[in-house]
Amino acid sequence: MKKFKNPGDIRLGIIAGGQLGKMLIQAASKWDITCYVLDKDANCCSSSICKNFYCGDPDNFEDVYNFGKKVDILTYEIEHINTDALKKLKNEGLPIYPDPGILAIIQDKGQQKAFFKDHNIPTANFRLYCNKEDILKDIASKELIFPFIQKLRRGGYDGRAVISVDKEEKLSDLFDGPTVVEKKIDIKKELSIIASRNSSGQILSFPAVEMVFNSNANILDSLISPADIQSKIEIKAKKIAHSLIELLDVEGLLAVEFLLDKNDNLFVNEVAPRPHNSGHHTIEANLTSQFEQHLRAILNLPPGNTKIKSPAVMFNLLGEENFAGPAVYEGFREALELDRVYIHIYGKKETFPYRKMGHITVLSDTIEDATQKAIKLKKLIRVKSKQ
């Protein structure tokens, strides 16, 4: 990357302008970095706070290539990007972090799992299938037994392409297409570690957090920081996260999702080379936020201190069931009457059931108290649509 005197001289390109892009811009603006955003939706979360907004498709070669030509350094907040355009930009000298080479692995859950297996990273046993018929054949021959988890190899997010198959009756729900089928882990807790690495090779991670999932939608329900786990488990998880960030040669953030089973075995579920939903609390609850840490890593600056300032519970503001259309936020004023409550509204114009519309971080001296407040807040603040 070109040497810069002032952070303000840097033109940072961000591919996609969802909530992660928006929060990255908020962190970058503290240092006066000039952000550029490419997103196909002119009303995306970032467009309202980014002067250099370009409407274009991250999947389209020309759009990505032309966008890359306007910036000094490029990063991304989604994984589904036209990699040919990224490779061409890279060959022409544009620094892109994380390196586009890893996207091929990340974009495909099958390749991710194979990568874990090839590198002796613990992960739930799995098989790859091309279609539903082959899965049914393996069930008939008892090669595959219930319960198992089926995931689309590509394009899934927020649990929208994951199903749990526990019995015969669920077989009609099977996806037909390229999928990963995994042994269902008897989960005690889901954990996440966000690690960062810069070009000088400095690696640091945030303390482990606990993710609680909504089983109706397979989506993050709330997050607890710090995770209530034995320190030996945290040490082991960090060691795995650090091996992964090195093996994948990520310069930037790597979020590593873990499943911890009832016997305290850790399994890597999936990874994402970017800021992650499991790090949103760091904005208020840690000495450095995950967004600032990503900037530090991609600009080859020293990593910031990741220590916890306060225990926290974070939950996503999800679109209420049975409501779809232009979003309205009920209970905003009442929620703000509570102490140490930090509301983030992403600015998505339209809501639909379970859409991530924002998040709230609650700080408290104890997790118990923060949890009680979060339960109260969930009832108070609701995302509905105009009637």
Ligand X SMILES: Nc1ncnc2c1ncn2[C@@H]1O[C@H](COP(=O)(O)OP(=O)(O)O)[C@@H](O)[C@H]1O
* Contact positions vs ligand X (CB under 6 A): 124, 149, 151, 156-159, 162, 182, 184-185, 187, 190, 213, 218, 257, 259, 269-270
Strands (E) across the chain are located at 11-15, 34-39, 52-55, 73-76, 126-129, 148-152, 162-165, 179-183, 187-197, 203-205, 209-214, 219-225, 252-261, 266-272, 312-318, 325-330, 341-345, 350-351, 356-363, 382-385
Supply the DSSP symbol for 275.
-
Q: How far is the CB of 49 from ligand X (least distance, A)?
A: 27
Q: How far is the CB of 6 from ligand X (least distance, A)?
A: 38
Q: How far is the CB of 119 from ligand X (least distance, A)?
A: 18
Q: What CA–CA distance (Å, rounded) separates 218 from 178? A: 20
- CB of 276 or CB of 296, closer to ligand X: 276
Q: How far is the CB of 186 from ligand X (least distance, A)?
A: 8
Burial class (CB in 10 A: 0-12, 13-18, 19+), 32: exposed
Q: How far is the CB of 219 from ligand X (least distance, A)?
A: 8
Q: Could you tell me if 276 and 187 are in contact, meaning their C-beta atoms sit under 8 angstroms apart?
A: no
- CB of 24 or CB of 256, closer to ligand X: 256
- CB of 151 or CB of 296, closer to ligand X: 151
- CB of 185 or CB of 381, closer to ligand X: 185
> What's phi and psi for 27, nearest 5 deg?
-70, -40
Q: What CA–CA distance (Å, rounded) separates 69 from 351? A: 34
Relative to beta strand 179-183, strand 126-129 is: antiparallel
Q: How far is the CB of 30 from ligand X (least distance, A)?
A: 29
- CB of 61 or CB of 213, closer to ligand X: 213
Q: How far is the CB of 115 from ligand X (least distance, A)?
A: 14
Look at residue 188 and give its three-state secondary structure: strand
Q: What CA–CA distance (Å, rounded) separates 338 from 377? A: 9
Q: What CA–CA distance (Å, rounded) separates 119 from 46? A: 37
- CB of 156 or CB of 177, closer to ligand X: 156
Q: How far is the CB of 90 from ligand X (least distance, A)?
A: 26
CA distance to 14, 15, 73, 261, 285, per residue, from 18 (Å): 10, 9, 19, 33, 22
Q: How far is the CB of 238 from ligand X (least distance, A)?
A: 19
Q: Could you tell me if 93 and 36 are in contact, meaning their C-beta atoms sit under 8 angstroms apart?
A: no
- CB of 181 or CB of 317, closer to ligand X: 181
CA distance to 128, 148, 170, 238, 359, per residue, from 137 (Å): 14, 15, 15, 39, 43
Scan for tokens 């225990």, then name that residue: 311
- CB of 34 or CB of 269, closer to ligand X: 269
- CB of 53 or CB of 213, closer to ligand X: 213
